[in-house]
Structure 1
């Protein structure tokens, strides 16, 4: 099904990730005075559309609470825009 009305090649995606940190990372973070978590998690939503026969545009928004697996780190929100050209 198309996501954007009148745009049959539009696509929506949702991604969830979890990355575990090593014991060495946690030990190093503690030496630096940080309080590390066992893992870092995040979610991403993206919307893409094919603009022509060779051009695709994709925008995405990423949310990462406690980035880097550090408990005191402020949550991060990152947006991106990708232009793909096939030739």
Structure 2
């Protein structure tokens, strides 16, 4: 249900980081790793499935909006994710 802005102590602008501020130019990452990095977490950190799903909800649109900044590598196996890196 919508809430009045007055119900919140602090609101701030929605500000997304640029891909080059999040990723190392020499590395390739899965969407799961990118999702963690966007939150300032270690890309190899274990997360419960529910938390990971929430982080992916933020990461996937961020990747799509910044698609021109990325290159893609096919997964190494059918059951593995693909990898993304800076163009």
Q: Which structure shows the bigger proportion of residues in strand conformation?
A: 1
Q: Which has the higher contact order (CA 8 A, sep 6+)?
A: 2
Give the TM-score range, shorter chain.
under 0.3
Q: Which structure shows the bigger proportion of residues in helix conformation?
A: 2
TM normalised by structure 1 equals 0.23
Say which one has the larger Rg: 1
